Amino acid sequence: MSNEPERIAKFLARAGVASRREVERMIAAGRIHLNGEVLTTPAVKVTDADKIDVDKKPAPVKQQARFWRYYKPVGLVTTERDEKGRKTIFEDLPEDMPRVMSVGRLDINSEGLLLLTNDGELKRKLELPSTGWLRKYRVRVNGNPTDEMLEPLRRGAVIDREAFKPMQITLDRQQGSNAWLTVGLREGKYREIRRAMDFVGLRVNRLIRVSYGPFQLEDLTPSQAVEIRAKTLRDQLGIDTVTPHKPEETTERPARANFKKTPRPNAGRPNSGRTNTTKPNSGRPNAGRPKRR
């Protein structure tokens, strides 16, 4: 057991209950009991020796930090519960996955890479603007964009009285009445790319996130989740932990989209910052074979 006291919101976030802010809301709603009493303030510290109940059930035990890459399909919302009754990503995840939270969000009409974790404290840190991780998207727009048209977004623009930071935008190719762009952001305002493209007269009709910081969508298919290697977590996040499951264990469901007539989501993506998710000896058919003498 840990003898180091921790604020209860941080303690439960690390146990994967919810983010710190959400835990504080749960305390205000009277949903958390500490040692048999309803907790009324988050300003308390706890250890593993304390008895904590969430919604009248024992709080989960703190686990080793684990992360997954997940391909969010179009049509799902990135919330645990949806007041409109729409299907959430958590209903789409395999049943054998532990309780997880998403790092950031993608709106219902967007698809691509979401990071999932069982550690609410790490989720919070990775979402902070100070982390400064670049997020890249493949964006299909209806129209004929030019560099001159996109320049205001590259410089940074004020849209609906809200300041948007400069975007990295590359015009990849024109395909009939549509064009493909690669867009890089370091912040995550609500529907930021769609609003920005509307601002310059372009309409987004497909949006795929292909990377989040050093983590890549790679060859994931819709609804597929792949656990990130423990070594990668140590290298990229400084997490000194060994996942209790086989690294790069894949859990997937049948793909729900056909990409035959559309470019691969990671097409045109630079190689900088990518993680090592390739198979051993990929592209080296003779690697590992003993030399003949």
Separation CA 279–CA 283 (nearest Å): 9
Please give the single-letter amino acid code of residue 259: F
Q: How many other CB atoms sit within 10 Å of the CB of residue 281?
A: 11
Q: How many other CB atoms sit within 10 Å of the CB of residue 274?
A: 15
Catalytic residue list contains 107: yes
The residue from 48, 53, 107, 172 that is catalytic is 107
Helices (H), the chain: 8-14, 20-28, 89-92, 120-127, 147-155, 192-199, 230-237
Please give the single-letter amino acid code of residue 158: V
Q: How far is CA 114 from the centre of its chain?
A: 3
Separation CA 105–CA 115 (nearest Å): 9
Paired residues of 157 in beta bridges: 164
What is the 3 state secondary structure string of 184-241? EECCCCCCHHHHHHHHCCCEEEEEEEEEECCEECCCCCCCCEEECCHHHHHHHHCCCC
Angle, CA 42 vertex, CA 37 and CA 45 arms, to 5°: 80
Q: How many other CB atoms sit within 10 Å of the CB of residue 246?
A: 9
Q: Could you list the active site residues? A: 107
